[in-house]
Amino acid sequence: MVAKMAKCVVWLGCLLLLQAAARAQERGVYRARLNGLELGVDEENGGLVCLRYAATGAILAASGESSGLLEIAYPNEAFAPLRLASRFSHARVQETSSGVTITWDDLRPSRSKVALPVGKVQAEVTIRAAEDGRSVLLSCRIENRSALSIPQVLFPDLWGMKPIEGVEGTRLRLARGVVHPFQIPIRELQAASPYYERVGWKEYPAGEGYYALNALRW
């Protein structure tokens, strides 16, 4: 009897491993090279999982579940901080003559138990090689067919950016100064703070006057 139970446990363990392997194989990545830039798009949710260039190495690396590309604010009476994002949604990835088109017929919310209004929010992102032979262009079209307004759009919402010049050398150059974004403490994704904490966020708005770091100069 003990031997039969042991065989049953081993058989169940093997079955679970096979199921996990099958799920890993099911999640595909669409890969393309546009003007020398290698990119990978998660075929399930349409998020960017890879950006790599020969001169810089890895620019972005993310798993399918933690990838990003598009996120919008979608506040309602039930939950004001509600978001709709590509990482919560199902995408269609289609190759074009100059790049790739990613379509979401229904952007899904960050909270599954929040009541949504009638209608859907649809989006389409196009990534294509520019005619100059060096650049890559990203464009986004959003169709709000729902009853709620969209006060904020994050695009491109890139998750998994890498310090391509190292922690000390990677810089964000603004109009009146330079920022070293990777020198601040960075939390692991699993240890991310709640939505109401501002830890890890830094904004550089352009509307704070001429002497602001991101002041517009003509």
Output the six-digit token pair for 42: 């998660």
Provide mean pLDDT across the span 130-159: 96
Distance CA 77, CA 158 (A): 28
In this prediction, residue 204 has a pLDDT band, given cuts at 50, 70 and 90, of confident
Sign of CA dihedral 34, 95, 31, 93: positive
Residue 133 has pLDDT above 50, yes or no: yes
pLDDT of 199: 55
- CA nearest neighbour of 40 among 64, 56, 23: 64
In this prediction, residue 182 has a pLDDT band, given cuts at 50, 70 and 90, of confident
Residue 60 has pLDDT above 90, yes or no: yes
pLDDT of 159: 93
Sequence ranges of the domains in the chain: 26-162, 163-218
pLDDT of 194: 59
Burial track 183-214 (b if 16+ CB lie within 10 A, e otherwise): eeeeeeeeeeeeeeeeeeeeeeeeeeeeebeb
Output the six-digit token pair for 49: 């999982």
Residue 50 has pLDDT above 90, yes or no: yes
pLDDT of 168: 85
Amino acid at position 180, single letter: H
In this prediction, residue 213 has a pLDDT band, given cuts at 50, 70 and 90, of confident
Q: For residue 20, what are the contacts with CB-CB under 8 A and spacing of at least 6? A: none
pLDDT of 176: 87
